[in-house]
Structure 1
Amino acid sequence: MLSERYATFARELAAYINPLQIMTNPIQTIAYGTDASFYRLTPQLVVEVHNEAEAIRTITLAHQQQLPLTFRAGGTSLSGQAITDSILVVATHHWKNYSISADGLQATFQPGIIGGRANILLAPYGRKIGPDPGSINAAMIGGIAANNASGMCCGTAQNSYNTLADIRLVFYDGVVLDTADPQSREEFAEKHPEILRELTTIHSEIQENKTLYERIQRKYKIKNTTGYSLNAFLDYRDPFDIIKHLMIGSEGTLAFISTITYNTVVNYPNKSCTLMAFDSIGTACQAVPYLKKSPVAAVELLDRNSIRSIEQEPQAPAYFKTLPDSACLLLVEVQATTQEELAHKQQQVQEAVSPIPTLGDFRFTSDPKAYAFNWKARNGLLPTTGALRETGTTCIIEDVAFPLDRLAEASLALQQLFAKYHYDDAVLFGHALEGNLHLVFSQDFSQAASIQRYADLMDELVELVVHQFDGSLKAEHGTGRNMAPFVEREWGEQAYALMLRIKQIFDPHYIINPGVIINSNPHIHLENLKATPATHPIVDKCIECGFCESHCVSEGLTLSPRQRIVIGREIKRLEQTNENPLLLAQLKKEAQYYLDDTCATDGLCAISCPVKIDTGVYVKAIREEKLTAKNHQDALYFVEHLDRVTQMGRYSLKFVRLFQNMLGNRSMLRIATKMRKISNNRLPQWNTAMPTGTATALKQPTPTTTAKPKVVYFPSCINRTMGKSKDYDKSELDLKDLIVVLLERAGYEVIYPTDVQNLCCGMPFSSKGFQEEGLQKSTALETALLTASEQGKYPILFDMSPCFYTFQSHHTTSDFTCYDPIEFVLDVVFPLLPITKPREEATIFPVCSVKKLGLEGKLLDIAKRCAKKVYAIDSNCCGFAGDRGFTFPELNQHGTRNLQQQLSSNSLNCSDGFSTSRTCEIGLTASSNHSFKSIFYLIEEVTR
């Protein structure tokens, strides 16, 4: 229940922005109460702002009512910067605008653009943004800048602070400053002369205080994001330049970043990397100064526990498992404009490091698979090492930096410190070239004694880093909450006093992300600790890093994979503690829709998850737990009589088409929508792309004795039921019939499995939690295919990628060759059928299973052979998710919300598109003015 103050705020804000953007529902506020840190705070309300005007209104109203607010983009922050128990302002989905200027030398981004996406946009110019954090494919520009995130290759020279061109800000009272606009500067000077005056005063004081000046100068000789960027007063005199650079690393505590303009950096076309193995971390660190003098782009340190977390990966080198317990790796990268330059740099690196003995030889590689594995393993070390922790404990990451000449000594001291407090699973890895180490370990927060152990460790860690080595307590992950109590201890009284003044200058009422960076509570790092109770074996490894969110179709509609896990954990915690039965009952009730019903279970989240957590499998397990004996009995009828079910489906679809022909699309849609509403959404939602039933039932062909090569064709139950949509040409055949024509054109005799009308891959069952029934159908299909192919003698074609993927995941060791439509076309059809009528243009959409199978490139290859110009739609799941597009159409609408814009903005004029899943094609057609069909229609057309 909202307090009166927050209820008033929500009510008044709703007069200016859509009330649906103001979330007070506990299942949503709890879901947003986490970031990648080990803290949890539940906001009173979450406001999703869609543009700067809405941000200004929200900030101004909070200022007027003196209510604290916190800004959030991707929520991948590691120190508790993006959570609050007040108002959380989320700037993501509608903050995707950008502009690239000066032939790619500068780029302006809104805060909701993912860092990896920014680099994709800059790639045609041979440029990229400077910051390259390990979370770059999940972290957004707003957070990257606000935390001054750096990473593997950028060091300090190419971080946000040093590549910043201009910035647009919204201050605590709604005043806007665009540092690139002279008029905006003038207006700001009129409205806030005191800010400019105070900054000028601080600049003069630092310049006149030799001790303080040298202290600041020395602190930034190594990586440092503890506190505010005091180096801005050394590097700049103009107060607007100082403002710009103070905002970098301010963690949203001084103003809201509306846009940021970067000076981009070169993205070298030629890259290679190598893994150097050493007998100890001390020896590895001794090699770093030698490498520093060589032409390396990055040097990443991985201790033995880091290696252990990835040594079971299929692509991991075999020698990983044989390394001694004291071993350490350095991942070294070189970059160059040409291959010749690259080879020369590789030689220079090998010569530079020769004085330090390595465990065996090493060589550089540019092989895409080996290169990708090395960096994927490094970028995912936080989640992969976190996944090794004991269930119920929390993953903690600290981030420190040391002078490079003392890195070896400091590394050994850290290992001794962890041994002293019995953190035996502690992992050290990081950016050795910058003396920057990440410390990952698991912590039990369920007992007072274990919390005290952590507190003691932190006290000694601060002593070690600050007083013994004069290092940085935070090198790139931001101060947040967990280092806020120690900022003064690291910087000293004078510098900390300046930070207090900076906070006062920009946030006089202390309402912008309070508690972060500046915090008078000496124990804040021990409060609001995240509980991670054992929930389900599928998700217990999750550290809530948020890497999955950019691949989730329901993120922004209901919950993301991370948020589904958060809600599952909170339900489990409340069940164990029984502290709030009413909240528990509400969460369980609403989880049906938010957690279950609107999950596409497409598994794309597992692609970006370093530990391959498939939240879709977790949701299917939840669905299975809810099933009753009656549910299984009903499912068994479908299993045994699928032929009757598909026949009934054909007749029903033809009946619906009859009404569509009589009423027209507009009237049909209006009536169908009203009937669905009257039924309380129990009736499926009809859409204009709804197909009719297939024209004819499948007929088993008569076997021949010809010498033609044979192919076993398994038409999916979907394509045995669903025929053409209204948008298809009348002369076109149903897909199952068109494929036969195509196969015969290629010279094949088609064989159907026996009892094909009753066969299914099992996905319609398993996706709803009927795992046993799904496996039963899949096993029956395997038996039928084995017989039809004469024990693997003939190839087998699936006509939909999702069916192929489901079957393959159940039967990876089957003794026959099965083909997805994409590989079948490439490997079987194209060698036999010349392309006689290539198109001018073609649009393709790779469905989820194609992404999981790694066939996106091959689908693009097909399209490029068939058309001179090709456009691949940039999207995750379309949200149709089997039948969910009919039962929960909002999921499909959300998944395709940017589809029409993409199709309109590309340079192609074609009015159709191609894919490999019938239900996805229905959803794509209904959401656009394009007619989406199977890729087989394109192949048939160009080989006709």
Structure 2
Amino acid sequence: MLTSATYDVRRLGAQLRSGVRGTVHDDATARALYATDASNYRVVPDLVVVPTDVDDLAAAVALTAAAGAPVTMRGGGTSMAGNAIGGVVIDASRHVNKILDIDTAARTALVEPGVVLTHLLAAAKPHNLAFGADPSSGSRATLGGMIANNACGAHSVAWGTTADNVRALEVLLADGTRTTFTSHGDRGALTALPGAEGELHRRLTGFVDANETAIRQRFGLFTRQISGYALHELLPERGYNVAALLCGSEGGFAATLRATVGLTPLPAARVLCVLGFADSIASAECVPTVLAHSPLTMESINDQLVDRLPGEVRRAAIDAGLPAGRAWVLVEMGGEDLMAATMAAEKMLVALKDSGSPATASLVTEPAAQAVLWRCRTDAAGLATRRADGAEAWGGWEDAAVPPHRLADYLRGLDELMARYGLAGASYGHFGEGCMHMRIDFDLLSDDGIRAYRAFVEEATDLVVALGGSVSGEHGDGRARSELLGRMYGADGLALMAGMKDIWDPRRVLNPGVVVDPPPLDADIRHQAPLQRKALTLFAYPDDNGDFAQAQRRCVGIGKCRQTSGGVMCPSYQATREEKHSTRGRAHLLWEMLQGDVVTDGWRSTEVRDALDLCLSCKGCLSDCPVNVDMATYKAEFTHHHYAGRPWARPLSHWSMGWLPLWSRVAATAPRLANRLARGPLVKRLGGIAEEREIPRFAEQTFTSWFAARPVNAGPRGQVLLWPDSFTNHLAPQVGQAAVAVLEAAGYQVVLPARPVCCGLTWISTGQLNAAKRRLTSSLTTLAPHLDAGTPIVGLEPSCTAVLRRDALELLAGNERAHRAARQTHTFAEFVLASGWQPPQLDAQALVQTHCHQHAVLGFDADRTLMAKAGIAADIPDSGCCGLAGNFGFERGHYQVSQQVGERVLLPAVRNAAPQTTVLADGFSCRTQIAQGTDRRALHLAELLAGGL
């Protein structure tokens, strides 16, 4: 939503630029990037400030508040309730993110607000300590945001909420006072302090004394009563815990500068009990029985979430111990050793059986298997945004909690309510705390749908209140629930919260409109306003009803792409840590491009072009993003339209590397001359190639010419067509030769297409989609006899194989040959493994780099199995993208990021590998990055197997 500011934005921007050392943004890119979070809401900020350190953060808050402008503190932007959007957004995640101290004796840590939870957990783990609150968004959620929302997480049933684990908070008040509040304060001493600090404590204690009875009756009635302010924390029996009061105040009382948090000792051993039920209501009925045995966690998922998991993960979960059922409860038990933890779990299972519970159960002790099962739960927030049939589902009623013994009653009532409104959804949550998260297929795109949404949440609120519950059990109130607090607390309860807000922030400049004085819950819904542009696209987007806008709505802002350790997604963000280089940031900018009121140039947008420039097109988001955002495809689509009718505006690299298959065929006529020319600086300048890069050498003899000179070797098991991709054919023919040797050893006659073929990969990655379609169509025509005959096709280059398996279907929608090719195309490992051939026993050690497209599109299970069958002990580091990524790492301006990505895990792992360890990488880009960044040469799996024949 675009609104007129009530203050002089330009003047404040100038004051901030002169008063802080960080960056101050008022450009379209920054305002678009920070207009949304992980909620259904959109409010475009006036300014975005990225301070450099704690003092800079304090200065930014003080200047903004003094100007009467709304101060909106932001961490990872993972708020699901719209808690941190609009006004002047101050992003603490970029630089104010240091772990300052870990005191193992006191079991505390001193952190800045931008510290990501998993970073704190990693720092505490060597000391066998952890932070007790651990939400599933912990790989990107910051401690400042967790404090603001009083985040809880899976282990809160045993270790408490954030408020229970905060010892002290150093904050900046709205009037510029910088002070510290602790978890247990001496009221008398604090009220005797001089100045503004003492006056604040005198007003707080006076407020509590005047309203003590009302506070006891309304606040703090059960653990997950997160909605509203935690006024009960100031009661005498709570120890006058001002730090805990600040937790859950959603930035409305003060800005956190530093936090001292308590750390919990980790149990020596844990086991996971997975309980299966026919439905969620039956699973909820086991809660009291399980809670009696003091579990560490008690988390729920249902079949709608499991069905949305990637097939590979779903199968792994079943193998790991997911029992029969349609709803599951994950119960974690701890102990001083594995035997004690197992005995505790078995005792709980006996009690469950004696209670008459219909649960099926499995007991999982292996950590790797536990991790697979936990992924089913941790990815739930994203998985639930799309139903198995592709329909969109949303938050909005996703965070209510009731006392745990009333949970089954709540779910029954909610089912009845949803049936009355014709709604369906997927649920998951913290059963041990009575807190349910949901994604429901609300219609948030039309006026009628919005009205129905409002009516539903009002009735659902009444249901929760009748059961003694809270409309928020974890994520805070924000824009989604603040308006509902009147139904929960009544007018007198609202008056108490308004009075508390006035004590801390009388000018109402700290995150205004949240908890107190809220806008309507159905205002500023991000997708309600009609898009300004209907995008006509070349890709079909079959999973999004052919609608590019619906594809952009996949990103609901969860921010898993902002994680900085592990996984393939998102390599450029892991290198730069800038929001616009995350998958989420790019998706938001694409959506804003379609909306058209902030990013106004449509397909010609330079804001979107610049954000997409560092996208490596690795497709990691397609598999690692819980909602399967496919930024590589979106980038190709955008790039095609951005340069449509303007070929002169394209980067030079689009003509050099985008047309690589053509130039390779030219080079094949005189490879020595081509290689000499490629070593000179002129080719790099004319081709837009980074000076630091060495251009790979063209082979003296192409793979296809080598193959044509061979005698025909008929195989008893029939024909297999080997796809001669441009990289194998012109740059690495030894890979093709090795594949021929293996396939013939397996009993097949290897054939090649009758004419040159190309999948169009390089044209796709550079957004030259019409050219790609022509080459794909021509190649499929060449393949027609083999497609008609059902001949299996084996690909050696993962990126080209992925085009045949996926991209071709979307680029040539309705082309039956493309569908046949996708069905008949196999990776080298898939085909060899399925053939039943026994490979040679190599007794080898290998460091293996998984190609991004293998990870995201093709799957890597067959490679693992084939290597094990051949006696290859594979070390497969969680390295993510190699950093070269086809043309990306060769392009001028990309070398530094390319190397940063490679140096994150892969290149150091290769350098540290023992000399006798073989380095394996099926992708030509991966092998090139390894060759140019280390002194090792990587092999294709086909080469290693062929060497053992």
Q: Scaled by the length of structure 2, what TM-score is found?
A: 0.75
- What's the counterpart of residue 483 of structure 2? 485
2:477 counterpart letter in structure 1: T
- What's the counterpart of residue 228 of structure 2? 227
User: Cα distance 1:766–1:205, how it changes in 2: closer, same or farther (>3 A)?
Assistant: closer
User: Cα distance 1:856–1:529, how it changes in 2: closer, same or farther (>3 A)?
Assistant: same
Match of 2:885 among 861, 881, 888: 881
1:546 counterpart letter in structure 2: G
Structure 2 CA distance for aligned equivalents of residues 817 and 390 of structure 1: 28
User: Cα distance 1:618–1:311, how it changes in 2: closer, same or farther (>3 A)?
Assistant: closer
Match of 2:627 among 611, 621, 638: 611
What SS does the corresponding residue of 2:353 show, helix, strand or coil? coil
Match of 1:7 among 7, 10, 24: 10
What SS does the corresponding residue of 2:333 show, helix, strand or coil? strand
1:909-942 Cα offsets, whole Å, 9 max, x none, are: 899997835546767898xxx53754339999xx
What SS does the corresponding residue of 1:474 show, helix, strand or coil? coil
- What's the counterpart of residue 343 of structure 1? 342
Structure 1 CA distance for aligned equivalents of residues 177 and 874 of structure 2: 47
1:343 counterpart letter in structure 2: T
- What's the counterpart of residue 535 of structure 2? none
Q: How many residues align?
A: 867
Summarize the alignment of residues 304-453 of structure 1 with structure 2, pairs less than 5 Å apart: 314-315=314-315, 329-359=328-358, 361-366=360-365, 371-372=370-371, 374-388=373-387, 395-420=395-420, 422-453=421-452
User: Cα distance 1:627–1:648, how it changes in 2: closer, same or farther (>3 A)?
Assistant: farther
* Cα displacement (A) at 1:43: 0.9
What SS does the corresponding residue of 2:48 show, helix, strand or coil? strand
1:256 counterpart letter in structure 2: A
What SS does the corresponding residue of 1:272 show, helix, strand or coil? strand
* Cα displacement (A) at 1:26: 2.1
Q: Is the 8 A contact 2:394 2:439 kept in 1?
A: no
Structure 1 CA distance for aligned equivalents of residues 225 and 880 of structure 2: 36
User: Cα distance 1:754–1:391, how it changes in 2: closer, same or farther (>3 A)?
Assistant: closer
* Cα displacement (A) at 1:599: 2.9
Match of 1:56 among 55, 58, 72: 58
Give yes or no for the alignment of 1:931 onto 2:934. yes
- What's the counterpart of residue 539 of structure 2? none
Summarize the alignment of residues 570-589 of structure 1 with structure 2, pairs less than 5 Å apart: 570-574=592-596, 584-585=600-601, 588-589=604-605
- What's the counterpart of residue 276 of structure 2? 276
1:543 counterpart letter in structure 2: V
User: Cα distance 1:816–1:544, how it changes in 2: closer, same or farther (>3 A)?
Assistant: closer
2:91 counterpart letter in structure 1: V
1:518 counterpart letter in structure 2: V
What SS does the corresponding residue of 1:296 show, helix, strand or coil? coil
1:93 counterpart letter in structure 2: R
- What's the counterpart of residue 560 of structure 2? 547
Summarize the alignment of residues 543-942 of structure 1 with structure 2, pairs less than 5 Å apart: 543-550=556-563, 551-555=569-573, 556=578, 558-574=580-596, 584-585=600-601, 588-590=604-606, 593-594=609-610, 596-623=612-639, 642-644=664-666, 651=673, 654-659=676-681, 684-691=688-695, 693-694=697-698, 696-698=700-702, 700=706, 717-718=726-727, 762-769=760-767, 770=769, 772-773=773-774, 775=776, 798=796, 802-803=799-800, 806=803, 814=824, 818-819=828-829, 831-832=841-842, 848-849=852-853, 851-852=855-856, 876-877=880-881, 880-887=884-891, 889-890=893-894, 893-894=896-897, 896-897=899-900, 916=921, 917=923, 919=925, 931=934, 934-936=937-939
1:529 counterpart letter in structure 2: I
Q: Is the 8 A contact 1:127 1:267 kept in 2?
A: no
1:472-519 Cα offsets, whole Å, 9 max, x none, are: 121101011222234355345666555434434443432222112222
Structure 2 CA distance for aligned equivalents of residues 129 and 309 of structure 1: 30
Q: Is the 8 A contact 2:884 2:925 kept in 1?
A: yes
Q: CA RMSD in A?
A: 5.6
* Cα displacement (A) at 1:190: 12
Q: Is the 8 A contact 1:881 1:920 kept in 2?
A: yes
What SS does the corresponding residue of 2:298 show, helix, strand or coil? strand
Q: Is the 8 A contact 2:78 2:559 kept in 1?
A: yes
* Cα displacement (A) at 1:68: 1.8
What SS does the corresponding residue of 1:399 show, helix, strand or coil? coil
- What's the counterpart of residue 468 of structure 2? 470
User: Cα distance 1:449–1:221, how it changes in 2: closer, same or farther (>3 A)?
Assistant: same
* Cα displacement (A) at 1:328: 5.2
- What's the counterpart of residue 818 of structure 2? none
* Cα displacement (A) at 1:223: 0.7
Structure 2 CA distance for aligned equivalents of residues 375 and 157 of structure 1: 18
Give yes or no for the alignment of 1:135 onto 2:137. yes
* Cα displacement (A) at 1:227: 1.9
User: Cα distance 1:777–1:766, how it changes in 2: closer, same or farther (>3 A)?
Assistant: farther
Q: Is the 8 A contact 2:271 2:363 kept in 1?
A: no
- What's the counterpart of residue 543 of structure 2? none
What SS does the corresponding residue of 1:57 show, helix, strand or coil? helix
* Cα displacement (A) at 1:40: 0.7
1:115 counterpart letter in structure 2: L
* Cα displacement (A) at 1:608: 2.9
Structure 2 CA distance for aligned equivalents of residues 607 and 816 of structure 1: 19
User: Cα distance 1:450–1:812, how it changes in 2: closer, same or farther (>3 A)?
Assistant: closer
Q: Scaled by the length of structure 1, what TM-score is found?
A: 0.75
* Cα displacement (A) at 1:114: 3.6
- What's the counterpart of residue 731 of structure 1? none
- What's the counterpart of residue 458 of structure 1? 457
Summarize the alignment of residues 79-228 of structure 1 with structure 2, pairs less than 5 Å apart: 79-84=81-86, 86-98=87-99, 100-102=102-104, 105-155=107-157, 157-172=159-174, 176-177=178-179, 193-199=195-201, 201-203=203-205, 206=208, 211-212=213-214, 214-215=216-217, 219-228=220-229
Q: Is the 8 A contact 2:77 2:557 kept in 1?
A: no
* Cα displacement (A) at 1:609: 2.3
User: Cα distance 1:690–1:321, how it changes in 2: closer, same or farther (>3 A)?
Assistant: same
Q: Is the 8 A contact 1:123 1:267 kept in 2?
A: no
What SS does the corresponding residue of 2:78 show, helix, strand or coil? coil
User: Cα distance 1:430–1:737, how it changes in 2: closer, same or farther (>3 A)?
Assistant: closer
1:835-877 Cα offsets, whole Å, 9 max, x none, are: 7xx9xxx9x8765346436669999x99xx99999996x7654
Residues 126-135 or 381-390, more deviating: 381-390
Residues 143-152 or 776-785, more deviating: 776-785
1:593 counterpart letter in structure 2: R
Structure 1: gaps spanning 5 or more residues: 183-187, 575-579, 661-667, 676-681, 723-734
Structure 2 CA distance for aligned equivalents of residues 165 and 591 of structure 1: 43
Match of 2:527 among 520, 523, 531: 531
